[in-house]
Amino acid sequence: MTQSRLEQIAQQMEALGQQQAAEDSRLDFSLASVGSLRSLFESKPRDERDYLKGGAYLGEVLRKTLGTGSWIAANSKIRSKSGAPMVSFGEWRVDPVYQLSRSLDDGLEGSSLTSTMQLIVSSIEDGVESGNLTSSYEFPSAWDRIAAAIRARRFRKRIARRA
């Protein structure tokens, strides 16, 4: 893929993220605003373009929070679960459209989407090495494990409250 095509994809995703933010004043590209995205999606039926805009917003939140990252296109060597462009942080690749659709499909609350995004940010900041995150083929299973860890943490909190 040519450099100009990659730049075009990056510009399109950045513009889609801006369009999503313009729909709701609570969306300010902070990690705290990610939970508001879910309520926006629940307010009316959404189509594929809406998911792409929402994912673009999440990707831009990650890029702005971490101060780095670039949009990359999925292809035969780099696969994304959603088929949409992903955000690359060196060896780390995040499919924000998949994260959004999975959050909505699994019925996760907005705070869970925020927690997932915070976990992604802290993992990238800490530079945690994981073979599963460097391979795009194994990428989705890594996020399934992250979701399981979040559910386990919630379960432990509920148990602790009962004690």
Alpha helices in 23-138 (DSSP H): 34-42, 48-66, 96-105, 110-126, 131-134
Q: Which residue has the tokens 């513009």?
A: 15
Residue given tokens 């399934």 in the structure block: 144
- Residue 70 burial (10 A CB sphere; 0-12, 13-18, 19+): middle
Closest to 13 measured CA to CA, from 81, 80, 63: 63
List the beta bridge partners of residue 92: 89
pLDDT by residue (tens digit) across 48-77? 888 899 999 999 999 999 998 999 887 767
pLDDT of 56 = 93
Distance of CA 99 to the CA centre of its chain: 5
Where does the pLDDT of residue 124 fall: very low under 50, low under 70, confident under 90, or very high at 90 and above? confident
Chain segment 89-121, per-residue pLDDT in tens: 887 889 998 888 888 777 655 557 888 888 888
What is the Cα Rg of the chain in Å? 16
CA distance 128 to 159: 29
- Is pLDDT of 8 > 90? no
CA atoms within 13 A on the CB side of 34: 31
Q: With 60 as the cut, is the pLDDT of residue 84 above it? A: yes
Q: Over 80: is that where the pLDDT of 154 sits?
A: no
What distance in Å separates the CA atoms of residue 153 and residue 103, rounded to the nearest whole number?
A: 17
Q: Rounded to the nearest 5 degrees, what angle is found at the Cα of 39, between the Cα atoms of 83 and 98?
A: 15
Most trustworthy range by pLDDT among 18-32, 77-91, 108-122: 18-32
pLDDT the model gives residue 28: 92
Phi, psi of 137 (to 5 degrees): -70, -35
